[in-house]
Chains A and B, each alone.
Chain A
Amino acid sequence: MLTILLGILEEGLVYGIMALGVYITYKILDFPDLSVDGTFPLGGAVTAILIVSGVNPVLTLVISFFAGAVAGVITGLIHVKLKVRDLLSGIIMMTALYSINLRIAGRANLSIFSKESIFENFVWDKLIPDFFSPYLVVSLLFFIIVIMKLLLDLYLKTRSGYLLRAVGDNEALVTSLAKDKGTVKILGLAIANALVALAGSIYAQMSGFFEISLGTGTIVIGLASVIIGTNIFKRFTYFKATTAVIIGAILYKACVSFAISLGMEASDLKLITATLFLVILIVSNERKRRVKGNA
């Protein structure tokens, strides 16, 4: 039981960091950004190759973060400067990243089992008592995700953060403030994809290898987490949206785990995901309609 719960929390927290990124694009910028299917494994590829060449695992987190940001900027430039539709610019970037990731890692599957990672290194070996070691991963993830969440909350309260939110809600307002909405969009995509790549980096270190097929369906998990989180906690205003999104990711992983333990086959997983996704969307639409009807 504890194993299952820890497993859900570990997966949920990693994907929670990714979901924070998707929250920025989907909810704040109103930009369905598919490039995350490429930036999640991008973080993994960068991390695996750097760790193999002996770079400090903590440093790989930072480098992955910036690699993701660069990818986000490119998606943004394609959309804003080349005037390609939002959905398509994401698809273009996602497709390009598949090859880029293969180039970065050198091959489709790179193991880092025997190397040190942020979860397994000589510092933890000395500091962490045995009884605590099963909880080390969850605690570290919790620590990282709380920091990321707080930083993001702080950022959204700055001037630049307000502009970001304004672009999604009311583009005309940004223009009337004499700000370039394109630049703001690019910035948002950069932050979002940086978070996604950071999650990819952590995921690779947690599982001990990079695999090219890991990115498939990242966007679906991200969107599901955002939608589950924000819809469930809509009424509880004392919950920040960022917190809701993280809990959404954990709940999503719990649902998947539940489906499997009910005897669903792993090959049906995508169907389960799609159904779950649809149900949540329908439920949230209904609620919206009801609110409108009452007004």
Chain B
Amino acid sequence: MKKLIMSALILTMAAGLLAGCANSKKEGQVTIGIGQFAEHGSLDNCREGFLAGLAEGGYVEGENLKVLFENAQADGGTAAQIADNFMAKKVDLIAAIATPMAQSAYSAAKKKDVPVIFTAVTDPVMAELAKEDKTPNGNITGTSDKLPVEKQLEMIRKVLPEAKTIGIMYSTSEVNSVSAIEEYKAVAPNYGFEIIESGISTAADIPLAADNLLEKVDCLNNLTDNTVVSSLPVILDKAQEKNIPVFGSEVEQVKLGCLATVGLDYFDLGVQTGKMAAQVLRGEKKASEINFEVIEEASFYGNNAVADQLGITLPEELVNSAKEMFDEISE
């Protein structure tokens, strides 16, 4: 009996701790939780685009929209905690950026049927967030950011007609990277390239892996690998010493000093996702009724300053088709 009373007492204590923090909510205002899995350029752009898309759809932050934002800093446990926390704060919708965040959000939200809108998920079918025919696997939908692998290889061929080998560094722990590597390896021979891959497990492995890889390749190419992209300056430094060009996978990397990319515009990806979210918030459609969308439109971005450093002239045809050319390397 004593044990029972004691247990009850502790539970009440825990409950009391939490009771003091009920959520206040203004009339006519919707609350959304944005969970972002890691911190880097493309995902940040995604988030900004998402808010812009929501604004286009009639939901403006601070007016009729309250946004809770959390970043999991690439930790799975934290991602789950963030999703639970959003549920506890009774958000009307969860926006999840990148695969593990989308899975955590879905897992937390499905019991209460709160809609989840994801973005920057490379393979929603493999992540079991959607079925083969693109219909949602529950009250969840969003946009997918498949890398335009063939277009990138075509571009590299044009910039470096003589090159034979491309080095790619990736984290073995990131699903998106592993599937991208497979695609690169399958398609590269069509463009006369051989892919030399180098798998790493933590950011600390990057300097050694870069030294090793740079001995063997004519150029480097990046994926949207969170770990590798976060350490981009290290790789760029080492590549510059050897005068080896590095190709990026999206615009932020070109700003930082990659030679060029045929990349997705993550801001646009976010905008499209934001519009989907607005549709759901207005109650026009449920997330479970919208198929996920794949963005495949990619544009060329180049960096003139990097080209000068390397002594490479970017082909005119590419430069003319560029969505944006950069003349300096941002630190």
Binding site for B on A (CB under 8 A): 1, 3-5, 7-8, 11, 98-99, 102, 107-109, 111-114, 134, 206-209, 211-214, 216-217, 236, 238-239, 243, 247, 250-251, 254-258, 260-262, 265-267, 269
Contact = CB atoms under 8 A, between A and B. Distances in A.
By Cβ-Cβ distance, the 9 closest A-B pairs, closest first, are: A111-B128, A213-B76, A211-B76, A108-B173, A254-B14, A214-B76, A113-B128, A4-B88, A261-B21
B143 interface: no
A262 B21 contact: yes
B2 A238 contact: yes
Contacts of B208: none
B107 interface: yes
Contacts of A257: 18, 84-85, 88
Contacts of A267: 70-73, 78
Contacts of B78: 266-267, 269
Interface stretch (B98-106, B242-250, B251-259, B300-308): B98-106
B103 A261 contact: no
Contacts of A206: 107
Contact of B7 (A98, A108, A247, A260): A247
Contacts of B172: 102, 108
Interface of B: 2-3, 6-7, 10, 14-15, 17-19, 21-22, 70-82, 84-85, 87-90, 99-100, 103-104, 106-107, 111-112, 126-129, 137-138, 171-175, 178, 201
Contacts of A109: 99-100, 103, 127, 175
Nearest to A254: B14
Given A111-B127, A207-B80, A266-B82, A3 B18 contact: no
A59 to B, nearest CB: 21
A156 to B, nearest CB: 19
A4 to B, nearest CB: 4
A134 B72 CA distance: 26
Given A208-B103, A209-B107, A266 B178 contact: no
A112 B18 contact: no
B36 to A, nearest CB: 10
Given A7-B88, A107-B178, A250-B14, A266 B21 contact: no
Nearest to B85: A260
Contacts of A269: 78, 81
Contact of A216 (B6, B77, B174): B77
Given A107-B175, A108-B175, 7 more contacts: A4-B88, A213-B100, A216-B76, A217-B77, A254-B14, A261-B88, A265-B70
Q: DSSP class of B's interface residues: helix, strand, loop or mixed?
A: helix
A214 B2 CA distance: 37
18 contacts: A1-B15, A1-B18, A3-B88, A4-B88, A5-B15, A8-B14, A102-B173, A107-B175, A111-B127, A213-B74, A213-B76, A236-B6, A243-B3, A261-B85, A261-B89, A266-B70, A266-B72, A266-B82
B288 to A, nearest CB: 14
A213 B104 CA distance: 13
Contacts of B71: 265-267
B100 to A, nearest CB: 5
Contact of A113 (B90, B129, B175): B129
Question: Which of A107, A112, A265 has the largest count of B CB atoms less than 10 A from its CB?
Answer: A107
Contacts of A108: 171-175, 178
Contact of A212 (B82, B128, B173): B173
Nearest to A206: B107
A62 B147 CA distance: 40
A251 B17 CA distance: 11
Contact of B3 (A3, A207, A238, A265): A238
Contact of B17 (A112, A238, A239, A258): A258
Contacts of A261: 18, 21, 85, 88-89
Contact of A251 (B14, B88, B126): B14
A232 B312 CA distance: 68
Contacts of A250: 14
Given A1-B19, A111-B127, A213 B201 contact: no
A262 B17 CA distance: 10
B75 A3 contact: no
B104 A207 contact: yes
A207 B7 CA distance: 27
Given A3-B112, A102-B172, A212 B14 contact: no
